[in-house]
Each structure stands twice: as C-alpha cells, then as structure tokens.
C-alpha cells in the first residue's frame, strides 16, 4: 500500500503519518475536489478536506462530499464472491465463481445465440470502466445487448443536443460563465439539492444583476432563490417554451442575423409556435399569460442568457421534444457560443457525461461514434485489433432489455455497479423479468435489491479504490486517484472484467496493467470522434486541473466554450425542430386523480445504496415520504405524519405523509432513494420516449388513501442464512 501511494506522488505528512490523496466526490456531476487523508498503516481514510485550488468547487463540498468515503468500509460491504446454491447465496472461491460465470454464459450463448446474454452498466463508472465494459460486451461476450442506467438519466437531453447541435456535451459553456449571464432559465432542475455547490454560481449571477427563473411543479430549494418561480402543470413544459418563443417572435426579440447565418429550420418552428398564444399556453400550463410574456421579455432583452434543463423535463416520454423546445428558444435568441450565453443539461450522476460517451450505450462506440456507421465501426475494429464484422450491431436500450427478458429473448445479464431493479420504472415488471433469467451476475459493493436476485455476486471496488477519470457536468475530464485497496477478497472492477475476458478467450484484447493503460487506449479509440479525448492525459489533467473535451492533441488545452464559430453538423449550422405540444399519456382521472412525480433529496444519491449506509446522511434522511399540499391532504382527512397508500396503474406503495405548501395541489412527490417496498419505482410508468428510450419517470396518474398504521415489515430486507454466513466469514472489511 505504501508503495502504491508513493507512486502517486502524494504529500506525506510525517508528523501525523497520514497521506493526502487528491480525489473527487462521486455523488454528483459537480465532482468537487477533495483530499482524502489516509492512514497507510491502518489502510483507513481518516478525514476529508475540500481542495481550494480546484476551479469548479473552489474549496466547497456539500454534506455528502465530506462523508463520501464512509460506505467503502461499511460492515455490509461484500468481500467474498457468492453463488446461489439451493436457493441461497453462499460463499464461494473466486475460481469457482468466475468459472461458473463463463460456463453459464457460454452455455446460454451456445443454445440461444450471443445476444441472449446482456450487460448493464452505470453512469457512476469511471470513463475507463465504462469504456472497458462496452468492449467487454462486444469483444469478449460478443453481444449487442449492452446499455446502462444513464439511459434513465441523460438520454433525452443527449438526443436533443445531437439533433440540434450535432454533438452532445451537456454544457456548452463552463460554470464560470454563469455569473456573466443576465438571465438564467432553469427548467425542471433542482440544483440546490442535486448539485449543491453549483448554487453559488447562480447567486453570483444575481449579485451581478442577473435574473433567475425556475420552472418546476414544486417550489424547490432552487426555486426559493429565483426571481420568478413558475409552478408549471407537470408535462406541459414544451407548450410553455413554445409560448415564450411565440412572444419573442411577436415582439421581435429574436436574433435574425444569427438565425440566418448559423441555423436552419426556423421557418417551420415559427409557423408551429404561431398558435401558442400566451392565453392558450396559460390554459395548458397553468402559468398566467402575463408571466409568459414577462419571461419572453427578460430572456429576449438580456444581453447574455443561459437555459438549463435536467431530469424534470427530460425523464418524460416526450423528453426529447421538451429539451428541443428549450433549444429552439436558445437558437432563436442567438445567445449561444459566446461568454455568458449557452445551454446546459445538468448531468445528475457522477460520470453522467463521460459514461455516455465511450461505448456502454447500446447504439454507440467510444468517442461518441455510432455503432451503425460503417466508417466508425472500421475505426474501432482497427483500434481493438478485430475484424469489423466481429463488432455486434445496435442492441436494446435499458428498459427494452427487461422487456426482452420477459419475452424470453434474453437469458443472462451481467450487471456492473448498478441497481436496475430499483432504478427502473414499473419495478414489479422488472423483478419478474430478472426472476426469469437463467443467469444473473452482479458485481457490486453491497447486496442491493438487484444483487439479492443474482445467481452469482462478485465483490467489486469502491470509488476510493479505483483510479480513473470522470467527466463532470461541464465536459471537464478530471482524475481520481486510488486511496485504499479493496477490502478482503474484493477486486477492482476493471480487473474482474479483464479476468473474465481472459477466460472467454480474449486475453490479448484485455492486457492492461493499470487503469491508465485503459485510458491510453480510450484516447486512441476516441480520436476523431465527437467526444475526442485524444489530447487528454493523466499528466495534463493534473497540470490543468481538468481538461475539457474535445481535446484533439497534446498541444490543445481543450474546449471550454462550444460553438463559438460553428455547430457540429456537417454544414456547421444548428438545426431547429418544430415541437407540437401533446399531453402526457397518463392524465389525472376519476380513478387516479393526481400527478405523481419523483426525484432526489440532497442527502442521498441514486438508489441510496451508498448514502443509506453513511451514518450521518441516513440519520438526517432515514425514510422515504410522499410530499403533498395541505389542500390535497384535506380532501382525504390526511395529516402530516399519517401513512397513506399510493396507487398507480403500475403498482402500490406506502409512505408517510409530509405536508408542504411548496407543491402544486394536483401533484404528489416521492423521492427515489429507497429499495423494496419503499421504492418510488413500484409506481412509475415505463412509457418510453420514442427517440431516446427514456422512461416516463416524472409523470403518472396516482390516487392515495389513508391507512391506519405503519406498514408491516415484510422481511424482504433481511439477510438469508447464506448471506448471514457471508457476514460472519468475510475478511478485512474493517467493521
Ligand atoms: S455531492 Fe456533488 S456538490 Fe456535494 S460534494 Fe459531492 S460532488 Fe460536490
């Protein structure tokens, strides 16, 4: 351990015998820089200090960042492989577990074809692991069916940006441009809770005279800082954007020169928004007509302006259309490609940006290349040293994988560091689909709800143990150094993939000694692609404190601000796309009279697997709840703290009531961070966006009824006998 740490040139404080390891918090896309204080003798992280010199977070971290390492040594950490025997997960040797995986997957593929085995990844993986997982699926397992939980996160914004700009980098400008903006429109994003250290940038913009408008059905902590909050009716965002653009055109607050020189398709959009008068839009959205006019004037008049979106409008079955309607606004104003002007899709997961660029998406090869483009396939084949024909074609998207399982088409799944049973919509359906598999393999830190269903579980690595790069919400590639080794017999995720690939007969394609070796290959694989990392090295990242992609050579410092001269479509122009508003599929009716929406809390991350095992975070947010307006609660005689049962067309779940005036009376809200019978996704709709395949997490119709008492513990969360054996036997987990 000492040698490893020295090799990374960390500062050693001899007086306290601690080592400072430079890293980044994994719990959101800000990737705040933190120094982990490590006691090399005890192999233990003893403290965390935010790093002032990192320009993004500048010495700030939210409560999650300060304790982000704690779960890595939680007593429930998996440290030994498990194999299901006689219905129970039982301790196994690595040799047995790895042989069993290879045997089972090869048997499935012999009988049903290569695509009958699928792979599922995650947006928290490092770029190296995301890249390697895509290569593992296509070269070692030879399956087309790989996708990841980022499909549930960024896919609508990514599709919209690719259509409009010809490239998908979440933010077109760096965060330090925010204080330059005189108008900021935030649509369906709650940065105060999801990216807390981003909030000071907005406050600085206000101090500089900028206005902030927040569009959200809830009066969130972000809405509280806004100059104007629009509590929009769920699912009507594109009508609102069309209405704003209607007024801007009517009042001639658009940039004719920019539209003429740098875009195409405006006339059709102009024709479409003609019918979106403020009065009509007010009827659809519930936003007063005068406020729609006000926003159009603020946005149109402002010398500089930025539009931000996030999951609120993206996690809908019309998520792409919603984002496109925002981008139409940006293009018509001409406020993009210059300081203080642009668009940003605020990435949620730690590596939501990089995770979608390097090949764990079903339709994509590294460098944001298309798996259906013959030239792109040829290039990757040359990098990987295989024949182009050996690279499978486009596979199924995340939720479609579970539909294919239910249809009997997919028989096996390999999951790396993801918990799709909890994170997928309509999770009862997903549970049935997973239960029907011949073989489910999960690599993770804990026995998640998904891992508990597995046939084989492998103990993988925590963020503190894996070296690698992440790409933050700006498109800035940063480097996380390892600060400790995996406990017990747990192994580094990338080494598990390489070992399985070796056993599948592909050793020569996975001969890496270090994570940096993988990154060096990723650089080459991305060269010439849309997300070009070829000029980025570990050394340059540390020297520059992050490097923005595209970065095409050693001399190139990277690209902070996109589209200063041209967009990424072949003609250099951005493309308008007309959006006609349509109601969401599920509307409140007599059976289900309210909207249900879901989202994150500040103290938890994703399905809560890590943050619920962090004492200080879980103590402050120990259980889920349903948020509702007092007017709504009164209709059923419900009071704060009462228990209610929520029912949707997908399922039912019970939650304690939290009354708040900060939500529309026609809308209920449930956070997403709990598993089993506390999972919000027992209720959500699996309607998919036709283009991005994003599920409709944010909107379904719901009813509720008061129940007399707290639901009984159904025992699902308890350890089986085999799992207890694992708890008693595991080695070195630092309990
Ligand atoms: S959760 Fe996000 S804002 Fe909080 S410390 Fe981590 S990276 Fe920073």
Cα–Cα distance, 434 to 67 (Å, whole number): 33
3-class DSSP assignment, residue 411: coil
CATH topology of domain 156-346: Dimethylsulfoxide Reductase; domain 2 (3.40.228)
pLDDT digits (tens, 9 = 90+) for 500-546: 999 999 999 999 999 999 999 999 999 999 999 999 999 999 999 99
Is the CATH number 3.40.1350.10 carried by domain 594-707? no
Quote the ligand 1 centre to 66 CA distance (angstroms): 9
* pLDDT of the residue at 725: 53
* pLDDT of the residue at 16: 56
As a whole number, mean pLDDT of residues 268-275 equals 98
Is the confidence at residue 715, as pLDDT, over 60?
A: no
3-class DSSP assignment, residue 29: coil
Cα–Cα distance, 544 to 561 (Å, whole number): 16
Q: Work out which ligand 1 atom sits closest to the CA atom of 198.
A: 3
Report the mean per-residue pLDDT for the chain: 94
Cα–Cα distance, 340 to 57 (Å, whole number): 19
As a whole number, mean pLDDT of residues 5-14 equals 48
Is the confidence at residue 460, as pLDDT, over 70?
A: yes
**Closest residue to atom 1 of ligand 1, CA basis:** 27
Is the confidence at residue 382, as pLDDT, over 80?
A: yes
Q: Find the helix packing angle between 493-503 and 127-135, rounded to 10°.
A: 10
Q: How many CA atoms lie within 13 A of 430 on its CB side?
A: 25
Is the confidence at residue 238, as pLDDT, over 50?
A: yes
Mutate to test the pocket of ligand 1, among 23, 54, 124, 195 (most ligand atoms within 8 A of CB): 195
Task: Kindly list the domain boundaries of the chain, sorted by start residue.
Answer: 2-68, 82-153+360-463+494-512, 156-346, 594-707
3-class DSSP assignment, residue 704: strand
Q: Which residues of 369-378 are buried (b: 16+ CB within 10 A; e: fewer)?
A: bebeeeebbe
Is the confidence at residue 496, as pLDDT, over 60?
A: yes
Q: Do domains 82-153+360-463+494-512 and 594-707 have the same CATH topology?
A: no
Using 50, 70 and 90 to split pLDDT, how confident is the model at 17? confident
Is the confidence at residue 13, as pLDDT, over 60?
A: no
Q: Which residue has the tokens 């001899």?
A: 14
Cα–Cα distance, 200 to 54 (Å, whole number): 15
pLDDT digits (tens, 9 = 90+) for 76-118: 999 999 999 999 999 999 999 999 999 999 999 999 999 999 9
Cα–Cα distance, 469 to 520 (Å, whole number): 11
* pLDDT of the residue at 683: 98
Quote the ligand 1 centre to 197 CA distance (angstroms): 7
pLDDT digits (tens, 9 = 90+) for 568-586: 999 999 999 999 999 999 9
Interior CA angle at 64 toward 540 and 184, to 5°?
Answer: 75
Range with lowest mean pLDDT among 260-274, 373-387, 541-555, 703-717: 703-717
Q: Pocket residues for ligand 1 (CB within 6 Å)? A: 25, 27-28, 30-32, 57, 61-62, 64-65, 195-197
Q: Work out which ligand 1 atom sits closest to the CA atom of 66.
A: 5
Is the confidence at residue 316, as pLDDT, over 50?
A: yes
Using 50, 70 and 90 to split pLDDT, how confident is the model at 732? very low
CATH topology of domain 2-68: N-terminal domain of TfIIb (2.20.25)
As a whole number, mean pLDDT of residues 182-203 equals 97
* pLDDT of the residue at 122: 95
Distances (CA, A) of 721 to 80, 100, 186, 287, 731: 16, 22, 50, 56, 18
Longest dimension (CA), the chain: 72
Both tokens of 368, joined, read 């944001």
As a whole number, mean pLDDT of residues 17-36 equals 94
The answer to whether the CB of 535 falls within 8 A of the CB of 43 is no
Quote the ligand 1 centre to 52 CA distance (angstroms): 14
* pLDDT of the residue at 183: 98
Using 50, 70 and 90 to split pLDDT, how confident is the model at 727? very low
Residues 6 or more apart whose CB falls under 8 angstroms from that of 601 comprise: 193, 621, 671, 673
Using 50, 70 and 90 to split pLDDT, how confident is the model at 695? very high
Mutate to test the pocket of ligand 1, among 23, 24, 29, 32 (most ligand atoms within 8 A of CB): 32
Cα–Cα distance, 595 to 726 (Å, whole number): 43
| Neighbour tally for 66: CB within 10 Å | 18
Cα–Cα distance, 515 to 476 (Å, whole number): 19
* pLDDT of the residue at 718: 45
Cα–Cα distance, 305 to 332 (Å, whole number): 12
Parallel, antiparallel or unpaired: strands 11-13 and 18-24: antiparallel
* pLDDT of the residue at 41: 81
- Run of H or E residues at 215: strand 211-215
As a whole number, mean pLDDT of residues 695-719 equals 79
What is the percent of the chain with per-residue pLDDT over 90, rounded to a whole number? 92
Instruction: Specify which residues 670 forms β-bridges with.
Output: 598
Both tokens of 132, joined, read 């390697």
**Closest residue to atom 2 of ligand 1, CA basis:** 28
Is the confidence at residue 498, as pLDDT, over 70?
A: yes
SS (H, E, C) 547-605: EECCCCCCCCCCCCCCCCCCCCCCCCCEECCCCCCCCCCCCCCCCCCEEEEEECCCCCC
CATH topology of domain 82-153+360-463+494-512: Rossmann fold (3.40.50)
As a whole number, mean pLDDT of residues 154-181 equals 97
What is the percent of the chain with per-residue pLDDT over 70, rounded to a whole number? 94
Parallel, antiparallel or unpaired: strands 412-416 and 439-444: parallel
């Amino acid at each position: 351990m000492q040698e490893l740490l020295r090799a990374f040139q960390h500062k050693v404080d001899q007086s306290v015998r601690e080592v400072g390891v430079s890293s980044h918090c994994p719990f959101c896309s800000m990737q705040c820089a933190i120094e982990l204080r490590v006691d090399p003798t005890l192999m233990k992280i003893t403290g965390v200090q935010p790093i002032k010199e990192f320009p993004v977070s500048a010495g700030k971290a939210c409560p999650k960042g300060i304790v982000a390492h704690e779960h890595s040594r939680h007593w429930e950490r998996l440290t030994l492989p498990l194999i299901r025997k006689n219905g129970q997960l039982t301790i196994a040797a690595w040799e047995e577990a790895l042989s069993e995986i290879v045997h089972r997957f090869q048997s499935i593929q012999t009988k049903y074809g290569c695509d009958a085995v699928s792979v599922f990844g995650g947006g928290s993986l490092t770029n190296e692991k995301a890249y390697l997982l895509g290569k593992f699926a296509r070269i070692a397992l030879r399956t087309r069916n790989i996708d990841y939980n980022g499909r549930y996160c960024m896919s609508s914004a990514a599709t919209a940006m690719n259509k409009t700009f010809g490239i998908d980098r979440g933010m077109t400008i760096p965060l330090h441009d925010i204080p330059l903006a005189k108008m900021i429109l935030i649509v369906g994003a709650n940065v105060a809770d999801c990216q807390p250290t981003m909030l000071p940038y907005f406050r600085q913009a206000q101090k500089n005279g900028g206005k902030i408008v927040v569009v959200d059905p809830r009066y969130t902590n972000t809405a509280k800082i806004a100059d104007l909050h629009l509590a929009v009716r769920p699912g009507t965002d594109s009508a609102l954007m069309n209405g704003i653009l209607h007024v801007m055109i009517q009042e001639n607050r658009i940039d004719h020169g920019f539209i003429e020189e740098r875009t195409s398709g405006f006339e059709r959009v102009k024709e479409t928004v003609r019918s979106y008068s403020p009065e009509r839009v007010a009827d659809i959205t519930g936003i007063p007509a005068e406020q729609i006019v006000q926003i159009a004037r603020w946005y149109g008049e402002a010398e500089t302006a930025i539009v931000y979106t996030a999951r609120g409008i993206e996690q809908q079955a019309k998520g792409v259309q919603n984002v496109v309607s925002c981008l139409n606004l940006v293009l018509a104003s001409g406020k993009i490609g210059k300081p203080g002007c642009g668009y940003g899709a605020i990435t949620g997961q730690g590596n939501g940006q990089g995770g979608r660029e390097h090949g764990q998406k079903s339709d994509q090869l590294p460098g944001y290349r298309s798996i259906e483009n013959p030239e792109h396939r040829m290039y990757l084949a040359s990098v990987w040293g295989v024949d182009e024909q050996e690279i499978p074609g486009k596979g199924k998207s995340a939720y479609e994988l579970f539909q294919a399982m239910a249809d009997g088409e997919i028989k096996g799944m390999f999951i790396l560091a993801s918990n799709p049973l909890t994170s997928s919509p309509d999770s009862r359906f997903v549970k049935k689909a997973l239960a029907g598999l011949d073989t489910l393999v999960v690599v993770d830190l804990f026995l998640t709800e998904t891992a508990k269903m597995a046939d084989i579980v492998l103990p993988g690595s925590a963020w503190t143990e894996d070296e690698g790069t992440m790409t933050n919400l700006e498109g800035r590639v940063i480097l996380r150094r390892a600060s400790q080794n995996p406990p017990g017999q747990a192994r580094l995720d990338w080494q598990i993939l390489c070992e399985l690939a070796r056993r599948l007969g592909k050793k020569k394609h996975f001969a890496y000694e270090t994570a940096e070796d993988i990154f060096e290959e990723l650089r080459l694989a991305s060269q010439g692609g849309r997300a070009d990392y070829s000029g980025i090295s570990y050394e340059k990242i540390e020297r520059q404190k992050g490097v923005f992609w595209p970065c095409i050579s050693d001399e190139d410092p990277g690209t902070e601000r996109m589209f200063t001269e041209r967009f990424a479509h072949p003609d250099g122009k951005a493309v308008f796309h007309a959006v006609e508003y349509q109601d969401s599929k599920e509307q409140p009716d007599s059976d289900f009279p309210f909207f249900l929406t879901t989202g994150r809390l500040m103290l938890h991350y994703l399905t809560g697997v890590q943050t619920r095992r962090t004492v200080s975070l879980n103590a402050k947010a120990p259980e889920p709840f349903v948020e509702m307006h007092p007017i709504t609660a009164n209709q059923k005689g419900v009071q704060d703290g009462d228990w209610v049962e929520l029912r949707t067309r997908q399922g039912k779940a019970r939650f304690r009531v939290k009354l708040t005036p900060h939500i529309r009376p026609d809308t209920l809200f449930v956070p997403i961070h709990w598993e089993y019978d506390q999972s919000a996704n027992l209720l959500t709709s699996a309607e998919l966006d036709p283009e991005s395949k994003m599920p409709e997490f944010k909107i379904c119709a719901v009813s509720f009824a008061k129940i007399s008492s707290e639901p009984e513990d159904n025992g699902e969360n308890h350890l089986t006998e085999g799992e207890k054996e694992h708890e008693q036997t595991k080695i070195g987990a630092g309990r």
